Amino acid sequence: MAKLEVADAISRAQTYPHAVLAYVGPDGYPVNIAVDFTGSATGAVVDVGALDPDLRPADGQEVELTFSHIRPQPGVGYDERRYVNLWGPATPTGAGLRVAVRRASGWDEADTPFFEYAERGVPAGRDYLDELGARPRLSGLWTVFLATRLPFLTATVIPVGLGGVVAARDGAFHTLWFVLALVAAIAVHLGLNMANDLFDDANGADAANVTPTPFSGGSRVLQYGLVTRRAMVTGCATLYAVAVGLGLFLAAERGWGLLWIGAVGIVLSLAYSAPPLRLVHRGLGEPVTALGFGPVMALGAYFACTGRWSWQPVLASLPVALLIALVLYVNQIPDRAGDAASGKRTLIVRFSAAQVQTGYAVTVVGAFVCIVAEVVAGVTPAWTLLALATLPLAWRVWNGLRAHYGDPYALMPTMQSNILLHLLTGLLFVLGYVIAVVS
């Protein structure tokens, strides 16, 4: 329950059909009984109707009035949860009472959605568990799944796959080198996700965020006490070590140029949220993401397969680079209040809602124009125009952004569609290359 202004609370209370009067009886047990009432917000009083003479609080005794509402939903449970609590001294008025309301609290899920309400309780919940000597538990698999944010690996699979098919078009695809490059890229990505959680925990951005969703607000494993910081650091360092080890091996086998690509990738992944650069705090998260999950990964996979440099994978990755930047961009919308509070000044924090929506439109149009322009310029095969089939999905995201910008939970389907937009566009783009190679 949250504290309410008395006048506001009484105004809210007047929408309920009855109240529950509670007081502590002479035997020390609380008594609560249904009562009729009329309230005056301006006078900060509530008049309670007739009471059983045996169930009356003492003159001047502190009482509480509670007003509660739900709407039953057969087969589901109920919704429209809301309640108001008022406290103050009660004085007799004939058969009833007058309560001079001095403080109030309450909750209305229409104002504070249940998931936000629950999230606001996390610090108190952690303290309570600490006192019990208990810790929240999840299976090891679920914990790894959450801590690494495994589903977001599509962001890596697409550009690395693209580097592989561009290499195939050049007649130089090599399965082993490609798979090793993919594993190295996955290790960097998962390590980056864990590093991002560690830094966002350290700077308070995740703790300040009370509207996380499955697509935003970090993994929350640290906030919920599912994983210790030490375990996160160990996991993160292990993943980066795997990436560096594989990178060194690939560089030794395929050419030292790969070392530079890997180094750029790792530096970008750390500079994204680690001090002193903390690029995402400076509104540079999107370009860094586009670079890392576009040209860097595509070129890395291409180089691992072919052992040489080329502009082809860099240019081919531009559409998916723009789309993955938009995944970050949209997923930061629900985080904006927490990000702003912790000094993480992302583009979403810096822009107005209208600017964010315009920015999305311009960039997504840019991605699709890029797909066409590259075919026209002869950079990519004509079959990559298959990727234009996802245009309706982009339209859906655009409409979702306009309709649900201010509601993190209503925005969830839009965030999901936006992730699908990157994934499906990328897959169709890769498929276009595959068709061009085999035909």
Partner 1 sequence: MSDPTPLLPPSVIELLDVALVGELTVVDEAGLPITYPLIPLSDGNVIYLTSSVLFSRKLRHIKANPKVCLSLTDPVAVPVEPFHRATIQGDARVVEEDVHEGWERLLPMWRAKEPVIDFFLKKRFGIPLFFERSVIEITPHRVLWWEDGRASEPARVYELTGVS
Residues of the shown chain interacting with partner 1 in the complex, contacts defined by CB under 8 A: 18, 20, 22-24, 28-36, 49-52, 54-55, 62-64, 66, 68-73, 75-78, 81, 83, 85, 87, 95, 115, 118, 121-122, 124-126, 128-129, 132, 134, 136-138, 142, 145-146, 214, 224-226
Give me the least distance between CB of 406 and partner 1, in Å please. 22
Label the pairing between strands 19-24 and 2-4. Answer: unpaired
> Cα–Cα distance between 76 and 422 in angstroms, integer?
35
Using N-to-C axis directions, what is the helix angle for 412-438 and 391-404, rounded to 10°? Answer: 170
Query: Which CB, 117 or 351, lies closer to partner 1?
Result: 117
Query: Which CB, 74 or 392, lies closer to partner 1?
Result: 74
Please tell me whether residue 2 adopts helix, strand or coil conformation. Answer: strand
Give me the least distance between CB of 239 and partner 1, in Å please. 21
Give me the least distance between CB of 20 and partner 1, in Å please. 5
Query: Which CB, 126 or 402, lies closer to partner 1?
Result: 126
Among candidate residues 348, 403, 355, the one with its CA nearest the CA of residue 216:
348
Residue whose structure tokens are 């951005």: 205
Give me the least distance between CB of 35 and partner 1, in Å please. 7
Query: Which CB, 73 or 399, lies closer to partner 1?
Result: 73
Give me the least distance between CB of 18 and partner 1, in Å please. 7
Query: Which CB, 223 or 306, lies closer to partner 1?
Result: 223
Give me the least distance between CB of 331 and partner 1, in Å please. 16
Query: Which CB, 22 or 179, lies closer to partner 1?
Result: 22
DSSP H helices in 121-254:
122-132, 140-148, 154-169, 175-202, 205-208, 229-254
Among candidate residues 423, 108, 410, 171, the one with its CA nearest the CA of residue 305:
171
Give me the least distance between CB of 59 and partner 1, in Å please. 17
Residue 332: DSSP 8-state: T
Query: Which CB, 76 or 377, lies closer to partner 1?
Result: 76
Query: Which CB, 20 or 434, lies closer to partner 1?
Result: 20
Give me the least distance between CB of 84 and partner 1, in Å please. 10
Among candidate residues 317, 388, 390, the one with its CA nearest the CA of residue 158:
317
Query: Which CB, 109 or 170, lies closer to partner 1?
Result: 109
Query: Which CB, 161 or 212, lies closer to partner 1?
Result: 212
- In whole angstroms, how far apart are CA 301 and each of 176, 321, 341, 393, 433? 11, 15, 39, 28, 15
Give me the least distance between CB of 116 and partner 1, in Å please. 12
Label the pairing between strands 77-93 and 45-48. Answer: unpaired
CB 151 within 8 A of CB 422: no
332: which residues sit within 8 A by CB, 6+ positions away? Answer: 216, 285, 339, 346, 347, 348
Give me the least distance between CB of 131 and partner 1, in Å please. 9
Among candidate residues 270, 263, 261, 193, the one with its CA nearest the CA of residue 227:
193
Question: H or E element: which one contains 70?
Answer: strand 62-73
Among candidate residues 432, 420, 430, 437, the one with its CA nearest the CA of residue 155:
420
